[in-house]
Structure 1
Amino acid sequence: MAPLRLGNPARRINFALMGMAVVLSLYAGRLVQLQGLDSKVFQAKAASNRVRPEPLPARRGSITDVNGHELAVTVEARNIVADPSKVPAEQREQVAALLAPYLGVPKEDIAAKLALARIRYTLLARDVPIGVAKAVLELKIGGKKIPGLSAVPQYQRLYPGDDLAGGVVGFVGDEGGGLTGIEQTYDKLLGGKDGRQTIEMGAAGQRIPMTRSTRVEPIAGRGVRLTIDRDVQWAAQQAIARQVKESGARSGSVIVMDVRTGQVLAMANAPEVNLNKWESLPPADLGNRSVSEIFEPGSTNKVITAAAALEAGAVRPETVFEVKDKYQCADRLLSDAHPHGPEHLTFTGIIAESSNVGTLMAAERVGDQALYNMLRNFGFGAKTGGGFYGEEAGLLPRRETWSGSQRCTIAFGQGVSVTALQMASVYQTIANGGVRITPQIVAGTVDQHDRLVPASPGKRTRVISRRTAGDISRMLEAAVNADGSTGSLAAIKGYRVAGKTGTAMRYDENCRGYCGYTATFVGFTPADAPRLVALAVVQAPEKGHFGGEIAAPVFKEVMTFALKTRKIPPTGTTAPSVRLSTDG
């Protein structure tokens, strides 16, 4: 048996030393890489893990009425957030049940968010009042506060009047930006500019003291002051909402304007937008019908035909026409609202009694081009220029496209479409001696020191002569006060009122044709020294349909309130005697 030979100890030691040298060199190389070559990269990564950017939201400016009463205001609130990874699985259901009544969020929704244990941040509820947020953070389970729960400072947009001037004011979305109305049109000015800050946080989420931080202060938004008078707006909304309900109508609008400035004192719609609950409303009810809903004006449009005829010298208020109850125009036989034998009406009588046939006879003396030009001059077929959100231009067909019968129907308000604001502007022009003033809804903006910066006055444009405006005013006064007039329900005791009814077939896309009616009344007072103009329009009423019975009472109610609120006294004068007919 051969003797056992042991290995060379020196060789084993050498191999071991070589192996150790290789391992140490690897560690050394890694250290050189970490502390030398890649040190800046890892420093930056570590810093990014510690440094947390935080936005500093700017406080949104308020929207107020003409007297400074708040219609939209921003208040401090909190967003309640959670770190699901810190909530033990066995406590999630209990935490959800505890939080649900405070946050107004279903327990199931909270539990589902807390079950996402891999994420570090989830929003449980936004716009929570500060007091509620404080109470939530004090809630305990098993004698300890709920882990991973925190409150993030935020601003909440509130609308103290709920639906007061809702279509005009508009609302903001979840991210705080304006979506409709003044909120959208003046979003940049109202929103201001958000700030930001960065702070260093530890692994447990606590702020590391004495570490670097940067901060850029937010710039608060400016305020917007409207021309709307809160009290008149409220009265207008009440009146139109009541009439829409009582008449079974689809919708309605009321506008009140200052004749001398073109400023809108009230712009009401029914249904109106509840700004604190806008998310639950159908899209059709989120806009401002006064500027977005177009309709055929009917007989309220006859003042434009009258203006064209008077300006051309084709008629005078006392010009007499033999008016029958029917009129053949191209391929259509047009008629007055009620059958009657031949009548000898003055032009004033034609307007006061709202005769379609008499209006067509006067239009014949003017010609299509002159009538078209007058419609354009009064603002038909174009936006008013006041910067109203969602405003439509209406429809005025080019004169070259008018059919044989259309040249007649346009004269008494069918075949053209307008908005309520456009029609109110027409009567503001007449009341203002023939000078149109661009309608205004914004009185000015308010800076950080609560100083009002007034908006520029509306553009003034002469449309008709002062004499023509005066002639039409007296015709419109007869349309309210004279025997046989169509607007008697708009009369206001002690005041001289000038106005006109309108009843037109309503085009409806649902029936792909004319079905239902649009009832309108528009006028101004005092007739001899006009201060206010108001329009009421009711769409598709089911209980009655004439403007004189449906819209005129709304005009009377709203105008009576506005006169008292604005402290406008009667002039104390008596309306001049006018002749409507030579019969009898």
Structure 2
Amino acid sequence: MTPRTPPQPPSRGRDPRRSAASSGRVPSGRPVGKRQPPPKRASAARGTSAAKGAPSPRVAASSKAQSTGRQAGPRKPRNTAPARRPAARRGPARPPKPPGNPRRRMRGLTVATLFVFSIFAAQLLRIQGFDSSAVAAEALEQRTEKVQIPALRGKILSSDGVVLASSRARETVVADPTAVCTYQQKDKKACSPATSAAAVDLAATALSPLLGRSVDDLRSKLGGAGRYQVLDRKVSPLTWRKIAKLGIPGIYKDSAEAVPERVYPQGPNSASLVGFVTNDGAAGGGLESMMDEALKGTPGHSIFEKAPNGSKIPGGRQGGVAAVDGGDVTLTVNSNIQWYAQNAIAQQMAKMGGQSGTAVVMNARTSEILALASYPTYDPNDIGRAKGSLVNKALNDVFEPGSTAKVMTVAAALEDKRVTPDQPVVIPNRMKRFDVSFKDSHDHPTLHRTVAGALAESSNIGTILIGETLEPKRLEEYYRKFGLGSKSGMGFPGESAGLLAPSEKWSGTQRSTVMFGQGLSVTAIQAASVFQTIANGGMRMTPSLIQGTKDAHGTLTKAPRKPGTRVISEATATQVNAMLEGAVSREGTAPQAQIPGYRVAGKTGTADFYDPSLGRYSGMTASFIGYAPADDPEIVVAVIIQRPNASIYGGTVSGPVFHDVMTYALQELKIPPTGTTKAPIQISVTPQEAASDPDTLRDRPRSRGK
């Protein structure tokens, strides 16, 4: 065993690691190829550094001394304790993170900045290059204001040129209470609770005489909540200019709300015929609705660029489309006749009482409407307070015609050669059909009349005997040819077609009642059209209200005329005409309808009135329909009064109105008397003549159901 050499101080002249390597020896206890950490301190008890371990850091310094020839003496070690073996390491130590490279960070920041700027550049290229037109258009649209320009409705004129309806421009004045409260105050930007009330009072006092409203009413509006208070919708342009001169903050006109005002110079006289327009400019009935497409025109608009504060930009985009006003409509109605008829029916209603009344004046040859009066009426200039009926009763209301329908029954029997005007008719006081006993308007002994006499005296029983010469189906065909059961063809809004059931659905008693005008319903225009057919030689013409239209450029278009329909022959019409003259004679039911100097033909009517609101019959319908001159008819007048109180008979209630309206119409249209005298007609026969004539119409026993 080799004796242990005491430790020697390391040599200053050489590196123990190199010495060991050069001699081929490896320090004991250290594996080859593995780097070991150097000990913290050199141990004095150990041998040479080359033999037992790595030298102290001071070895390098001592080696320098050796190289200079100095002899390093022995040094006392600072710590004589045995050197501690280094702790075992769990793994290789992580190398320390090298400090960042400034150039690398600069390059990254530059790339990121260039990327962001490239996005901005691409977006700018898209906006100004590819999408420049679209973006510019969108921006222009955002700062462009578009204001609607309403079109004025066309005029409605009578045939003699009188304006029945027209339009005029009106402005809607609006207040912003949050701005009005600064009126004539020191602080013009905001409201002050101490001065707002005074400002509102000053503004209300200034606006009151211009708007025609009380100060208290305006004060509640100007000091109200919100920022939009409508003060008036019907301010004239002149009045608006006066309001604008006051300089009241927050008072402006709302062009979007501007609606032209509709004016009706004739007021209630033609209201139910002309109709009305609502506050928003929509047609509300009558001719306003019927001719709306021709009257309403085409609205326009104005466009301009506006600044953020709403003001117009000078030199900016401006333009628009001009509004095209509606066309004018000329009626067949004569304004003077319309005025007279409306007042005549109103006066008679006040005298006789009643629920409603109508008066129709018609051209006998063309069926053009000369007047269409309806009572009660209303004022279309103040539609909000209308209390009367808003419909035209001559076209909308239906009623049982009563004896005026007997004209059709007699005309049908004459046309089919079933009877002749002077054929005898035996009329008992009562006549039973099925389970009903029929009678005339008054009790009487058995009468001996002719067919003409039965019509002139308006006998129900005589008419039944005449009508029974025809089959029910044939009678229905004539009624429909006269216009019953269908609309007149004028196109008037709300017009009724009347009520006429098919003959196969008529009950046993209805087969008799329809012959004298009960069990069916008509409108006043339908009833007048029956007499127009007789007056026109048996040719029925479609009633018309429109003479023509004139567009905004002044082009006149005449209304088309429909061809007439032959109902009965001219010979039959002449025979019926003579019978109707007898009804107006002293022997007839309406001597009140006679007009001195003129030959008049007509027929009275009295029927039970069915009240739909009650669901039962209540009151009577009194009517008179006729025409003149009877030998050369020009004018047809129909007067119908519902539920009169003073009397129930058509001759007494409606006959005087017919007389007055017909007289005025003849004078207005300058129709002279013909100067001819009517041919005498035979009204009655003797009992012997009736008994000896085999064609005499009389009541014969009938089995039930026939």
Q: Distance in 2 between matches of 1:249 and 1:68?
A: 34
For each residue in 1:263-282, what CA deviation from the matched residue of structure 2 results, as whole angstroms up to 9, or x when unmatched?
Answer: 00000011123211222124
For each residue in 1:331-387, what CA deviation from the matched residue of structure 2 results, as whole angstroms up to 9, or x when unmatched?
Answer: 111110010001110011101100000000111111211111111110110001121
1:209-248 residue pairs with structure 2 within 5 A?
Answer: 209-248=314-353
The equivalent residue for 1:456 is: 560
The equivalent residue for 2:302 is: 197
Q: Give yes or no for the alignment of 1:431 onto 2:524.
A: no
Q: Distance in 1 between matches of 2:645 and 2:172?
A: 47
For the structure 1 residues 161 and 463, does the alpha-carbon distance in structure 2 shift closer, same or farther, using more than 3 Å as the test? same
Q: Distance in 1 between matches of 2:562 and 2:628?
A: 21
Please say if residues 336 and 357 of structure 1, whose CA atoms lie closer than 8 Å, have aligned partners that are also in contact.
yes
Deviating more after overlay: 369-378 vs 427-436: 369-378
Please say if residues 340 and 661 of structure 2, whose CA atoms lie closer than 8 Å, have aligned partners that are also in contact.
yes
- Shift of residue 451, structure 1, vs aligned partner: 4.4
1:413-428 residue pairs with structure 2 within 5 A?
Answer: 413-428=517-532
Q: Distance in 2 between matches of 1:525 and 1:62?
A: 32
The equivalent residue for 1:539 is: 642
- Shift of residue 49, structure 1, vs aligned partner: 4.4
Task: Tell me which amino acid in the other structure corresponds to 2:606.
Answer: T
Q: Give yes or no for the alignment of 1:53 onto 2:146.
A: yes
For the structure 1 residues 136 and 34, does the alpha-carbon distance in structure 2 shift closer, same or farther, using more than 3 Å as the test? farther
Q: Secondary structure at the match of 2:268?
A: coil
Q: Distance in 2 between matches of 1:130 and 1:214?
A: 22
Please say if residues 236 and 268 of structure 1, whose CA atoms lie closer than 8 Å, have aligned partners that are also in contact.
yes
- Shift of residue 151, structure 1, vs aligned partner: 6.5
Q: Distance in 1 between matches of 2:339 and 2:117?
A: 81
TM superposition score normalised by structure 2:
0.75
The percentage of aligned residue pairs carrying the same residue is 38
Q: Distance in 2 between matches of 1:111 and 1:46?
A: 40
For the structure 1 residues 50 and 355, does the alpha-carbon distance in structure 2 shift closer, same or farther, using more than 3 Å as the test? same
The equivalent residue for 1:161 is: 266
Task: Tell me which amino acid in the other structure corresponds to 1:207.
Answer: K
For each residue in 1:122-162, what CA deviation from the matched residue of structure 2 results, as whole angstroms up to 9, or x when unmatched?
Answer: 533112122322222223xxxx5344423646532111111
Deviating more after overlay: 401-410 vs 169-178: 169-178
Please say if residues 439 and 458 of structure 1, whose CA atoms lie closer than 8 Å, have aligned partners that are also in contact.
no
For each residue in 1:246-288, what CA deviation from the matched residue of structure 2 results, as whole angstroms up to 9, or x when unmatched?
Answer: 1111110000000111100000011123211222124x61111
2:621 to 514, 518, 528: 518
1:386 to 490, 499, 511: 490
For the structure 1 residues 155 and 34, does the alpha-carbon distance in structure 2 shift closer, same or farther, using more than 3 Å as the test? farther
The equivalent residue for 2:514 is: 410
- Shift of residue 458, structure 1, vs aligned partner: 3.3
Task: Tell me which amino acid in the other structure corresponds to 1:509.
Answer: P
Please say if residues 464 and 516 of structure 2, whose CA atoms lie closer than 8 Å, have aligned partners that are also in contact.
yes
The equivalent residue for 2:604 is: 501
Q: Give yes or no for the alignment of 1:127 onto 2:234.
A: yes
For each residue in 1:180-229, what CA deviation from the matched residue of structure 2 results, as whole angstroms up to 9, or x when unmatched?
Answer: 11111111211111111211112333211111123112222111000000
Please say if residues 473 and 504 of structure 2, whose CA atoms lie closer than 8 Å, have aligned partners that are also in contact.
no
Q: Distance in 1 between matches of 2:605 and 2:115?
A: 95
For the structure 1 residues 122 and 37, does the alpha-carbon distance in structure 2 shift closer, same or farther, using more than 3 Å as the test? farther
2:657 to 554, 577, 583: 554
Q: Secondary structure at the match of 2:380?
A: coil
- Shift of residue 511, structure 1, vs aligned partner: 2.6
The equivalent residue for 2:30 is: none
- Shift of residue 448, structure 1, vs aligned partner: 2.8
Q: Secondary structure at the match of 2:346?
A: helix
2:455 to 351, 354, 360: 351
Task: Tell me which amino acid in the other structure corresponds to 2:631.
Answer: D
Q: Secondary structure at the match of 1:163?
A: helix
Please say if residues 401 and 607 of structure 2, whose CA atoms lie closer than 8 Å, have aligned partners that are also in contact.
yes
For each residue in 1:11-30, what CA deviation from the matched residue of structure 2 results, as whole angstroms up to 9, or x when unmatched?
Answer: 9xxxxx9xx99xx9999899
For each residue in 1:30-75, what CA deviation from the matched residue of structure 2 results, as whole angstroms up to 9, or x when unmatched?
Answer: 9879967789798667544421111121221111000221111112
1:73 to 148, 158, 166: 166
For each residue in 1:275-314, what CA deviation from the matched residue of structure 2 results, as whole angstroms up to 9, or x when unmatched?
Answer: 11222124x6111111001000000000000011111211
Q: Secondary structure at the match of 1:407?
A: helix
Please say if residues 490 and 543 of structure 2, whose CA atoms lie closer than 8 Å, have aligned partners that are also in contact.
yes
Q: Distance in 2 between matches of 1:270 and 1:439?
A: 21
In terms of fraction of residues, the more strand-rich structure is 1
User: C-alpha root-mean-square deviation of aligned residues, in Å?
Assistant: 2.8
Q: Distance in 2 between matches of 1:264 and 1:243?
A: 22
Q: Distance in 1 between matches of 2:154 and 2:577?
A: 42
Task: Tell me which amino acid in the other structure corresponds to 1:74.
Answer: S
Task: Tell me which amino acid in the other structure corresponds to 1:95.
Answer: A
Q: Distance in 2 between matches of 1:123 and 1:147?
A: 12
Task: Tell me which amino acid in the other structure corresponds to 1:133.
Answer: W
Q: Distance in 2 between matches of 1:447 and 1:423?
A: 34
Q: Distance in 1 between matches of 2:461 and 2:266?
A: 47
Task: Tell me which amino acid in the other structure corresponds to 1:62.
Answer: K
1:285-300 residue pairs with structure 2 within 5 A?
Answer: 285-300=389-404
1:115 to 193, 216, 224: 224
The equivalent residue for 2:244 is: 137
The equivalent residue for 1:305 is: 409
Q: Distance in 1 between matches of 2:661 and 2:609?
A: 25
Q: Distance in 2 between matches of 1:556 and 1:33?
A: 92
Q: Secondary structure at the match of 1:533?
A: strand
Q: Distance in 2 between matches of 1:392 and 1:311?
A: 28
- Shift of residue 169, structure 1, vs aligned partner: 0.9
Q: Give yes or no for the alignment of 1:401 onto 2:501.
A: no
Q: Distance in 2 between matches of 1:582 and 1:329?
A: 25
Q: Secondary structure at the match of 1:502?
A: strand
The equivalent residue for 2:275 is: 170
The equivalent residue for 2:551 is: 447
Q: Distance in 2 between matches of 1:465 and 1:70?
A: 41
Please say if residues 398 and 496 of structure 2, whose CA atoms lie closer than 8 Å, have aligned partners that are also in contact.
yes
In structure 1, stretches of 5+ residues that fail to align are 1-10, 12-16
Q: Distance in 2 between matches of 1:108 and 1:38?
A: 55
- Shift of residue 164, structure 1, vs aligned partner: 2.6
Q: Distance in 2 between matches of 1:113 and 1:436?
A: 63
Q: Distance in 2 between matches of 1:217 and 1:126?
A: 22
- Shift of residue 84, structure 1, vs aligned partner: 4.2
For each residue in 1:400-426, what CA deviation from the matched residue of structure 2 results, as whole angstroms up to 9, or x when unmatched?
Answer: 110010010110000100000000000
Q: Distance in 1 between matches of 2:146 and 2:224?
A: 26
Please say if residues 137 and 146 of structure 1, whose CA atoms lie closer than 8 Å, have aligned partners that are also in contact.
no
Task: Tell me which amino acid in the other structure corresponds to 2:674.
Answer: T
Q: Distance in 1 between matches of 2:397 and 2:637?
A: 17
Task: Tell me which amino acid in the other structure corresponds to 1:137.
Answer: A
Please say if residues 153 and 325 of structure 2, whose CA atoms lie closer than 8 Å, have aligned partners that are also in contact.
yes
Q: Give yes or no for the alignment of 1:365 onto 2:469.
A: yes
Q: Secondary structure at the match of 2:476?
A: helix
- Shift of residue 524, structure 1, vs aligned partner: 0.4
For the structure 1 residues 199 and 444, does the alpha-carbon distance in structure 2 shift closer, same or farther, using more than 3 Å as the test? same
For the structure 1 residues 270 and 27, does the alpha-carbon distance in structure 2 shift closer, same or farther, using more than 3 Å as the test? farther
Q: Secondary structure at the match of 2:627?
A: strand
- Shift of residue 76, structure 1, vs aligned partner: 2.4
Please say if residues 133 and 151 of structure 1, whose CA atoms lie closer than 8 Å, have aligned partners that are also in contact.
no
